[in-house]
A and B are shown apart, each in its own frame.
Chain A
Amino acid sequence: MGLVATLKQQLFRWQSDGTAPVRLGQRRVFILPTRAGLLFALTLIVMLLGAINYTLALGHALVFLLAGLGITGMIHTFRNLHGLVITPGRCEPVFAGEIAHFQLTLSNDRRTPRLALELAGEPAAIVDASIEAGDSSKIAIPIHSRQRGWLELPRIRLSTRYPLGLFVAWSYLQPSMRCLVYPQPITSPLPSPSPTPAGGEHRGEAGQEDFAGFRNRQPADSLRHVAWKASARDMGNRPLLIKQFAGGAQVELQLDLQLTDPTLPLEIRLSQLAGWVLAAEAENCSYGLRLPGVAIPAANGTDQSRRCLEALALFQP
């Protein structure tokens, strides 16, 4: 093993599997003076020269006190990161082009607060955090998603200049977290539905023929299915109800990759399918998805849309 590789292994030994909570030890925290720190040092040198030149005994004392302050500040800056516990959290799927928020929990089990922590996944976006004594704080790190598929959380730089700003202490975090990125949806008219033969397969959950009862409305349900009369009983104190039907022929959308224009690039076609999934979900139709090697039977609801979008996101031709 080369020297550089050995060094790297020594320095970055903490690259664990990244799923467990991590406590920042001295090995993982780096520290260097900032530009303000260098300015401070320069000021001290000038002040020392002045104190010597004018034979100011208290001037010497002041310069030495400030030097001591700088050293103390260094320890305290280091201490502001040292011992911090980072627990990876979860990350909701997003559409390509949106910002994925990776959640991390920072816990401080010390009796003093840790202020002015900065987390940066990408150089442009910095998240400030401060954690009270014995408290923990959930941080969402915004990462710009560019393409569908799995978005791995890049290396996070956790840094602080607190308290004096003369030193910056930082640590790199790489919890193993990933976020599913759906294809960016393109809005286009839904394809014409293909009616399924009557008496064919029955899917109990969302037919439109035979009345089967009521259930509570969920946010995803279309307003057209609300049983207004039933809901209005009891002075409207109960949640809105949805009429449930069972069986019967229904309109089923088969969203197929072949329905899209084959001259377009694959990514655009997948985006179009994603747009259809969203539109079909909004229309509250029953829909299925068919990709080469993937066939999702027709259904309706949040789970269905998630299943379809996931398939689109992870589709490998």
Chain B
Amino acid sequence: MSTAAPNALDHRAVPWLFVAALATVAPHFEHQPTWLSVITGLLFAWAAWFWWRDERLPGRWLLIFIVALGSTGIYIEYRTLFGRDAGVSMLVLFMAMKLLEIKSRRDGVVVVTLGYFLLLTHYFYSQSIPTGLWLLATMWIVTATLIRLHGGSASQSRYTLRYGLQLCLQAIPFMLVLYLLFPRVTGPLWGLPQDAHAGRTGLSESMTPGSIASLAQSSEIAFRVRFEGDIPGKEKLYWRGPVLDQFDGSTWRPSLGRQAVRLEAISAPINYETTLEAHNQRWLLSLDAPTGLPPDSTLGGTMTALNRQPVTYRQRFNLASSLDYRFNVQEEAAVLQRNKHVPAGSNPQSRQLAVNWLSRSPDPEAVIEQALALFGREFFYTLQPPLLGENSVDDFLFRTRRGFCEHYAAAFVVLMRHAGIPARVVTGYQGGERNPVDGYLVVRQSDAHAWAEVWLEGRGWVRVDPTAAVSPSRIESGIADALPVGEPLPALIQIRTNWLRGLRHRWEAINNAWNQQVIGYDLQRQRELLASLGLPHADWQQLAGLLALGIGALLAVLTAWGLYHKTRPDPALRLWHKALRHLARRKVNCAPWETPLDLARRVEQEQPDFGKAFRQVVTAYLAARYGPDNDLQKLRDAIAQLP
């Protein structure tokens, strides 16, 4: 018992705040600038030093100076104070500064609230299972800190930690109900800052020699596909991304004009669901040729499926494609003209070669055959091609002869254009790997690919993959088998050991399930859930009602648990009742008004032999119940000795 100011903070609660602050800030050290991490660490150490020495905290002006210095640094680093990364850095800085001015319990509460807020910011960078688990643990620490702040000096650490865990565990059912039933709103609600979705890998809108090769060195997953039927053969899995038809001698770019798409499906469409990782672009990567599109997307003029918004978070799309198709058999002259253009005077040797072929046979298909035959003879497929000079295609075709898919696609298209055949580069992904655990087809960045498309009279745009001529195994079994040993492929996709591969499949399947079921729980999934609960057309009122019902039920259970009180009689009294039951078996009953001593006297008179032992019980009972040391053991022993 003590008399204290209501807002006082006891000295031993402060280390809890340090630990909580460190736990919430530490994961940010990974991606924030090093200087900020160092400063944060120093401020932490400084605050800990003050606590250790129990000295007065630094003055207000010094703190303001440090905050100003830190903010300036952050501004110089990010050129703003408000974007995603800059905002997170500011929060980290504030957290460190707050530790330098902890004087009352209210300051402690601010640290804890800031800690909870910082937990949220980690999800900007990762929403994987380990992050989720780590944050659950941090949540526990922060909550225990909050409990410790209010517990005062009488609280014990072990009890505080256990209590924190109990509270977190009891909160989980509420979280589940809210997660499933809280009306979901599809974001964003307001304009996102520039860097909201920074740092995503994927295909880009242009292609230079080496750009796909660098992408292919990443084992990151680009998208996952679940087919309704069987997965088509690998050689048919061409996932179409941006089509590049503008060539300036070194870089390929898409043209901007609108073109009409006349698509004629020959084979029956196959349906599949793509879960696309965020890549900050609009294209959806459909199989050639897309015939069924999700509601918010359109088909671009070059047959690339485009979403209305850039895909800034992992999203699911339902698509349908026909693998045999005819595409723009009637093509506009302007488009054909554009796809025959080569920069004047560039790559003269290639022009010569193409003209030679054309003179031998004017048939475009024969020219294509010639080109593929050329690639099949003397070329070498590698991720590490030598550098190319100004006339990159000439250099590649006649000097280095080593290249990755974008080199072959580019050289092939240039050759075709020199021969007067409309041709363009298509980028995207090729192939993919089936995960036997959950049946999803996993397409990685390392499956990134570039191929060519030529327009033939009467057949429209036809896909030609020159890489297949160089390295057929690239198309049939994937990049890991197509490249010789020693190429800088990511270790993950090179795994050939069976059990390791099995382990990887399992881990990726778990991640996929997590992504699909937990992270991917959105408006659509919510509707499906409600439909399965018998509310197929639930409006927000029904949802709110259901939510209130769920929360109310949980609350009732928790309240019942909290307020249920089992009265436990005094242990000495319980033992006394046991002794009285012994007595009742001997046909002696204790009258309600009879004190234990009176009873003992009566029993001694009525049953002298038993009375002696009973007297022991009464003495032990009185000592246990009213004596100074509450010795129950003696009472137990005395009862055990009753005959």
List, in ascending order, chain A residues with CB within 8 A of B123's CB: 51, 54, 56, 58-59, 62
Binary B-proximity of A97-125 (CB < 8 A = 1, otherwise 0): 00000000000011001011010000001
CA distance A72 to B146 in the complex (A): 14
Chain B 160-188, CB within 8 Å of chain A: the 1/0 string?
00010001101111110011001001111
A contact residues around B568 at 8 Å (CB): 109
In the complex, chain A residues whose CB is within 8 Å of the CB of B150: 115-116, 161-165
Q: Given A128-B2, A129-B1, A65 and B172 touching (CB < 8 A)?
A: yes
Given A65-B175, A139-B1, CB of A72 within 8 Å of CB of B167: yes
For chain A, the count of residues having a C-beta within 8 Å of the partner chain is: 59
Bits for A73-84, please: 1 = Cβ < 8 Å to B, else 0: 101101100110
Q: Which of B168, B175, B567 contacts A64 (CB 8 A)?
A: B175
> Which residue of the partner chain B has the closest CB to A29?
B563
Give the distance to chain A from B260, nearest Cβ to Cβ, in Å.
34
Chain A stretch 43-101: residues in CB contact (< 8 A) with chain B: 43, 46-47, 49-69, 71-73, 75-76, 78-79, 82-83
Contact status A130-B152, CB under 8 Å: yes
Interface mask (A23-58 → B, CB under 8 Å = 1, otherwise 0):
000100000000010011001001101111111111
Most buried by A among B152, B188, B567: B152
A291 at interface by CB-CB < 8 Å = no
A118 — which chain B residues lie within 8 A by C-beta? 6
Q: Enumerate chain A residues within 8 angstroms of B4, measured Cβ to Cβ.
A: 126, 128
Instruction: Return A25 CB to nearest CB of chain B, in Å.
Output: 9
- A52 to B190 alpha-carbon distance, docked (Å): 10
A46 to chain B, nearest CB (A): 8
Number of chain B interface residues as a range: 35 or more
Interface of B is mostly: helix
A46–B120 Cα distance when bound, in Å, is: 11
Asked if B337 is at the interface (CB within 8 A of a chain A CB), the reply is: no
Q: Are A165 and B172 in contact (CB under 8 A)?
A: no
B591 within 8 Å of A (CB atoms): no
Q: Is A22 an interface residue (CB 8 A)?
A: no
Check A59–B120 contact: CB distance below 8 A. Answer: yes
What is the CA–CA distance of A116 and B313 in the complex, to the nearest angstrom? 46
Q: Provide the residues of chain B in CB contact with A46, threshold 8 Å.
A: 117
| Contact assessment for A67 and B120 in the assembled complex, using a CB-CB cutoff below 8 Å | no
A164 CA / B178 CA spacing, docked (Å): 21
Residues in A neighbouring B56, C-beta threshold 8 A: none
Cβ-neighbour of B151 out of A69, A71, A75, A115 (below 8 A): A115
Interface centre among A49, A65, A113, A164 (most CB of B within 10 A): A65
A164 vs B558: C-alpha distance when bound (angstroms): 16
Shortest CB distance B579–A (Å): 23
Looking at the assembled complex, report how far the CB atom of B562 sits from the nearest CB atom of chain A, in whole angstroms. 4
Whether B131 contacts A68 by the Cβ 8 Å rule is no
Contact, CB under 8 Å: B131 / A58: yes
Contact string against A for B residues 480-505, beta-carbon threshold 8 Å, 1 for contact and 0 otherwise: 00000000000000000000000000
Say whether A302 faces chain B, with CB atoms less than 8 Å apart. Answer: no
- Shortest beta-carbon distance from B453 to chain A in Å: 35
Cβ of A163 and Cβ of B163 under 8 Å apart?
yes
Q: Is B116 an interface residue (CB 8 A)?
A: yes
Q: Does A251 contact B (CB under 8 A)?
A: no
Say yes or no: is A142 at the interface (Cβ < 8 Å to chain B): yes
Smallest CB–CB gap between B571 and chain A, Å?
10
Q: Judge whether B189 and A75 touch: CB under 8 Å.
A: no
Residue among B4, B123, B147, B190 having the largest count of chain A Cβ atoms under 10 Å? B123
User: Across chains A and B, which 8 residue pairs bring their CB atoms closest together, nearest first?
Assistant: A68-B174, A68-B171, A64-B178, A130-B154, A65-B175, A69-B171, A57-B519, A79-B562
Q: List 12 A-B contacts (CB under 8 A).
A: A53-B190, A60-B179, A61-B518, A62-B135, A65-B139, A71-B558, A113-B154, A116-B150, A118-B6, A128-B152, A140-B1, A161-B150
Beyond A68-B173, A127-B3: 11 further Cβ-contacts under 8 Å? Answer: A56-B123, A56-B124, A64-B178, A72-B558, A78-B563, A82-B565, A137-B1, A162-B147, A163-B150, A164-B143, A164-B146
